[in-house]
Amino acid sequence: MDAVVRPDARVVPLYDLPPGESLTAIATGDQPIHVLALPLATALPAIPTIKWVGRDERFDIIVLSQVSAKADLDRIAASEYLAPVGDISGAGVSYADFHAEAPTEGAVHSACAALMPIVMRIRDLPERVRASNDPDLLLLGRIGTRDRPLTAMYDPTRAPCVRYPVAGRIPQVAESAVRLSGSGHLQRQFFDRLHICPQCRSSRLSVREECTKCRSPRLTEERLIHHFRCAEQLPESRFRKGPDLVCPKCDYVLNHFGLDYDKPGSVLCCGSCRHVSDVPAIAFVCLDCGTRTDADDVPTCDWFHYDLTALGRHALRAGMLGPDRRDGNHLIPGVLSRSTFHELAASCEGLYRRAGRPFAVLAVLSGTGTAATAPKRTAAIAADMIFDMVREMLRPGDAMMSAASGPVILCPETTSREARRLAKRIEKHIKDNIAVSDAMRVAVVPPQAAFKLD
């Protein structure tokens, strides 16, 4: 990093250092910060709190000092997707966790200071997450260690036009997020609906008005002329003969506006086929592949913001995604993905209809309590504790899933009277152990309601 002696440029941290903490305090108290500098062959200044490491050594932070080093970064293994990246090249690398405008020694300090909280959270993760190659688990890890939701933002430099900065270099984030939301590890919130090219799925589309007859976009708006004498009504250009207006139907010269003619409105005239129409056709043209599609035939794609659920945080602490995932591990007994839970509820309902076997569904409803009034972090801790308490109180055969409102419990072979007693017991257990609002309750809900709790 030969430019390191330059005076300090403005530094733009994305993640703030907790108040009162300094880089020196963090680094000297624990292990030194292991920093991998890219590009690899740079002259590095001696900085007391930092140990510069090579690519094959363990590192906490990656610092990019030149934008050309992105190629070096691409060669860093996928298992390093969690590592925070400080971009001090001034290029604004999109997936970096920290940006500074120039590679100065101060920028290296600021990057390390700003990224240290993330490093600490990564060190707290189970080895199974840190060493994982599973993009879904790594995505949960990114959200957890950045301590912020997976927020979508517009990005016209990419064909989908949306990206998730918190996801860093993880590929196919949207697909992972959809899977994780389906399995209950993430909850989602609508961001936007974008049109996509049916050919290449790009959202970089130009919207245009076209001639309804020949589909040319060469439309001009023209005033209509209405000739009173013969009732002819055509665009002005058709009446125009030099300086005069001459009716093309009856050859009469139009002299006086209001007496001979008036202009009742305007129309669209096609510059290619001369067709005249009141309204244009609308079409989309893909700027990536050139495909043109009628507006009515252009598909759309919905984008969401995502955040961890109690199940997601649990999976992160346990280092595994849990039930009925592709790894096949039923790590958390009784906890099911949303789809499996719904299947099980449907089969209970079938059994009830055919053979009158009772079953019940309970839901923990936080009301406005823990979620809305408490600070976000407190609410998350309370949600995690409720999740664990409910799980520990499941009886053999019971199953639960994690919904946005709180845990939902399926109780096969349970009468409504037994269910109400169980609900009361769980509610009392929660209220005895953690501070939740009075509005929080555990209720026996109609099975159909359980499907709408997401």
Residues that bind Zn ion (CB under 5 A): 197, 199-200, 202, 211, 213-214, 216, 227, 230, 232, 247, 249-250, 270, 272-273, 275, 286, 288-289, 291
Minimum CB separation of residue 242 from Zn ion in Å reads 18
Minimum CB separation of residue 226 from Zn ion in Å reads 10
Question: Which is closer to Zn ion, CB of 247 or CB of 365?
Answer: 247
Nearby residues of 383 by Cβ (< 8 Å), 6 or more positions away: 309, 310, 366, 370, 371, 406
Question: Which is closer to Zn ion, CB of 276 or CB of 443?
Answer: 276
What are the DSSP calls for 193-225, one per residue?
Answer: EEE--TTT----EEEEEE-TTT--S-EEEEEEE
Question: Which is closer to Zn ion, CB of 151 or CB of 272?
Answer: 272
State the CB neighbour count (10 A cutoff) for residue 200.
Answer: 13
Minimum CB separation of residue 230 from Zn ion in Å reads 3
Q: Identify whether the C-beta of residue 204 lies closer than 8 Å to the C-beta of residue 323.
A: no
Minimum CB separation of residue 225 from Zn ion in Å reads 10
**Which DSSP state fits 371?**
I
Measure CA of the first residue to CA of the last residue in the chain; give whole Å.
Answer: 50
Question: Which is closer to Zn ion, CB of 121 or CB of 275?
Answer: 275
CA distance 361 to 352: 13
Question: Which is closer to Zn ion, CB of 291 or CB of 340?
Answer: 291
Question: Which is closer to Zn ion, CB of 143 or CB of 211?
Answer: 211
Q: Identify whether the C-beta of residue 236 lies closer than 8 Å to the C-beta of residue 290.
A: no
Cross-strand bridge partners of residue 244: 241
Nearby residues of 268 by Cβ (< 8 Å), 6 or more positions away: 209, 211, 219, 220, 221, 222, 276, 277, 278, 279, 280
Minimum CB separation of residue 246 from Zn ion in Å reads 9
Question: Which is closer to Zn ion, CB of 275 or CB of 305?
Answer: 275
Minimum CB separation of residue 202 from Zn ion in Å reads 5
CA distance 158 to 161: 5
Minimum CB separation of residue 108 from Zn ion in Å reads 42
Strand 261-262 to strand 219-227: parallel, antiparallel, or no bridges (unpaired)?
antiparallel
